[in-house]
Structure 1
């Protein structure tokens, strides 16, 4: 769960206008090594006096204790709730007063952080981050306040069809593997999380050997190197991570229905994907754009929304992790049309698996993906986030320069093979909503028991 603190109005305006030219930025990516050995990918850009840093430690939610999912998520929510000689209120006041944006989050494979600041406040911003990472308080009053917030969110999820569908889908895909556990925990696990669990997570996960850093902004390499050492230098040299096994998601076809009295039925569908380090990943990425990732131009949108009017929207995407991969799709529809919607999706997925895309579809998808890449890197923050993800995915510091040629190299035969590999077995489907026969009856608020 990510927590962000808004910049003051003037700084927000400046942030919104940060727009380094991506092609220039890509050409200037430096592999910086600080005097203390902290490595970072760095783009110096003095267009405006701002600095954006994204960083990640290996581990993430997969390092939550088996019986306590949600530990990493609570750590992310608590690191800025008092540290060093500052209590929670004082820490937040300093962030707000100096227009510093600081946040943390726990994903399946990484524990991540973001830091954004004006150039003039960089020393204080990096020092506040240092304190948050190296001396968090985890005071009982703050732990209980954050616990209450997390539990409140989890209770809301028990009546949210999208949340229920996604949880069931991941549980179906991965069972007892760490990827099958909810990142933000459960109503049963969160009350049992203690300060000792949070401190142990910090000790095991926040270490220099898995740290990856990306920085974009108005700072020179020498100054940045010193800031990185001051911020991360006191962290343990080695992490103590629990090994996580590779796993393939459960094979289709499987279908599950979860009754819930809500106006609209939600459908989540998917199956095993293609991992990021697979040589055929880009072919899968391109053909997935054609099927469900291309918004209004995708096949699923045309078939389900435009031709049949079954849903307002339908989308599908690839989800890759360090030890597995999925393709996942979502839509919402009326209860009495849920079956028809699922059948239409299944039919189109199978048609793509059997026939693959046309040459025109492939050419148009490649053109869009090449152009949109540059538009997606139009701010310092976006570029820093992309550089961090390229490091996490082990793609190489020159990936921005190479990406379009990799897209161009995808042939029609490659795309057809990827389509068959992704969708040839059909779909795992989770449907959450009212039973079709009850669709004409008034909805009654009777949420299911918490899971």
Structure 2
């Protein structure tokens, strides 16, 4: 599981917020209809590559990018370093201190934000096309010359520590930390991206500059741009923003994680609702059986009202308001996770029903009718889930780059899904779901001998 969300430091643009909102929604239909067939690859003179979707419906440009290496690159004892760093990129860069930088963002009609995951550091910017020169120059300063001044460091650090302290009193936050430690053992994925009170207190400006230098490089950079900008202009801007970065990052090697399944973790709290989480092996994104696993997951509990888990747990028995399953893919691990919450006095019953539904899928697999419906939904929902705004299109394009799926993936995707056979889905269900899962119960202790 990911660490708890970090503070979000995007700045709303004074005087243009209404324009941004109206532009945001006006751009959706045109982009969603043609993004899959209008992606250009733009390569700058210094070798920076971006995927571009041109659209001049409204004068907005959305930029999304990612650098390989996220919180897994935090040095031991310095957990939370990447998280702190991403909170500081709009807190001063180049010759501009925090106040001056944020005023310049407002003057440029731009929004900027950064965040980290386990495996990458992400950045985003939205800007008015007519002020793009100023906006891109500010992005250049943030990417290449962050200041990491003491006052902003102390302020953002205090916000993060306050979040950590608050999380120590939250059962679900405590459970997420214990779950990660139990599932991943000593792997970097077991560490909190926020860090600890002690580790965050130890972070210095020198630590931040060192991590920035190690991660921010042209190698391992993924960029997508959507909106009112042409390829020739973007080519120049790519070199301005990213062209002077080092050629390659200095990343510490991270091994693949070996999930510690077959265990039951109880995080006991006296409360009326119990949360349940179960984890089985997953399928790497580049594995041949990935699409079969994705369809199997959709049938099992992939978030639709027709899934087996939803029917058995909610519709038939009223045990939970919602229940879902999902394939969780990171760079170094894959899992299939089921999660729900139910009345504590019915938690054991709910857990038993989940195990029975999974057992049925592992033993018999889906029907032809279930598979056909899952294929239709999976193909049709892609645009709604991934192409519903300029920002989501840019984000989707960056993820396609990270996953190495190719610029024409959207055209090929339906074919991959349609090609999956019933036997392939049954085989992957049997392979994944026959394994004894890890189970976490957050709430009152379950009765002895309960099926978990």
CA contact (8 A) 1:109 1:322 kept: yes
Identify which of 23, 42, 52 aligns with 1:14: 23
Q: What is residue 440 of structure 1 aligned with on the other side? A: none
- Structure 1 residues 5 and 299: CA distance shift in structure 2, 3 A: farther
CA RMSD, Structure 1 to Structure 2 (Å): 1.6
Distance 1:10 1:315 in 2: 37
Residue 219 of structure 1 aligns to a residue whose secondary structure is: coil
Q: Are 2:189 and 1:179 equivalent residues in the alignment?
A: yes
SS in 1 for 2:366: coil
| CA distance in 2 between partners of 1:265 and 1:156 (Å) | 20
1:103-182 pair list within 5 angstroms = 103-182=113-192
Corresponding residue number in structure 2 for 1:243: 253
Q: Distance in 2 between matches of 1:101 and 1:107?
A: 20
**Counterpart in the other structure of 1:415:** 425
- Residue in 1 that maps onto 2:243: 233
Cα drift, residue 21 of structure 1: 4.0
SS for the counterpart of 1:246 is: coil
Deviations 1:179-223 (A, max 9, x none): 111222223322222222111110101111111111111111110
Alpha-carbon separation, structure 2, partners of 1:27 and 1:423: 37
**How do residues 201-350 of structure 1 correspond to structure 2 at under 5 angstroms?**
201-251=211-261, 253-350=262-359
- Cα distance in 2 for residues equivalent to 1:174 and 1:368: 33
Q: Choose from 375, 378, 395 the match for 2:388.
A: 378
Q: Name the CA distance, whole Å, in 2 between partners of 1:163 and 1:408.
A: 40
Which aligned segments of 4 or more residues in structure 1 are displaced greater than 4 angstroms?
none
Which of the residues 161, 175, 198 maps onto 1:188? 198
Where does residue 442 of structure 1 map in the other structure?
none
TM-score under structure 1 length normalisation:
0.93
Give yes or no for contact 2:108–2:132 (8 Å, CA) kept in 1.
Answer: no
Distance (whole Å) between structure 2 residues aligned to residue 218 and residue 430 of structure 1: 48
Q: Distance between the aligned counterparts of 2:373 and 2:243, measured in 1?
A: 48
What does residue 450 of structure 2 align with? Answer: none
Paired residue for 1:200?
210
List alignment gaps of at least 5 residues for structure 1: 438-451
How many pairs are equivalent? 436
Q: When the two structures are superposed, what TM-score results if normalisation uses the length of structure 2?
A: 0.93
**Contact 1:54–1:213 under 8 Å retained in 2:** yes
Deviation at 1:45, TM superposition (A): 1.3
Counterparts of 1:85 and 1:116, CA distance in 2: 22
Deviations 1:70-108 (A, max 9, x none): 111111111111111111122222223433121111111
Determine the C-alpha separation between the residues in 1 that align with 2:414 and 2:205: 47
SS in structure 1 of the partner of residue 251 of structure 2: coil
Match of 1:30 among 17, 37, 40: 40
Question: Partners of 1:144 and 1:150 in 2: how far apart?
Answer: 10
Superposed, 1:91-110 pairs within 5 Å as 91-110=101-120
Tell me the secondary structure at the aligned position of residue 404 of structure 2: coil
- 3-state SS in 2 of match to 1:132: helix
C-alpha deviation, 1:56, in angstroms = 0.7
Secondary structure of the equivalent of 2:393?
Answer: helix
> What is the rounded CA distance, in whole Å, between the counterparts of 1:264 and 1:123 in structure 2?
53
Q: Which stretch of the first structure deviates more once superposed, 91-100 or 107-116?
A: 91-100
1:52-71 equivalent positions in 2, closer than 5 A: 52-71=62-81
Counterpart CA distance in 1 for 2:406 and 2:10 is 29
For residue 77 of structure 1, what is the aligned residue in structure 2? 87
- State the secondary structure of the residue aligned to 2:66: strand
Shift of 1:168: 2.1
**Larger deviation: 141-150 or 288-297?**
288-297
Q: Are 2:26 and 2:57, in contact at CA under 8 Å, matched by a contact in 1?
A: no
Alpha-carbon contact 2:275-2:441 (below 8 Å) kept: yes
1:347–1:39 CA distance, 2 compared to 1 (3 A): same
Query: Which moves more between the two structures, 379-388 or 187-196?
Result: 187-196
Name the SS for the 1:297 alignment partner: coil
Cα offset for 1:23? 4.7
| Paired position in structure 1 for 2:434 | 424
Given that residues 11 and 99 in structure 1 are in contact (C-alpha distance below 8 angstroms), is that contact kept between their aligned partners in structure 2? no
Q: Given the superposition, is the C-alpha separation of residues 269 and 3 from structure 1 closer, same or farther in structure 2, using an over 3 Å criterion?
A: farther
Please, which runs of 5 or more residues in structure 2 have no aligned partner?
1-5, 448-452
What's 2:9 paired with? 3
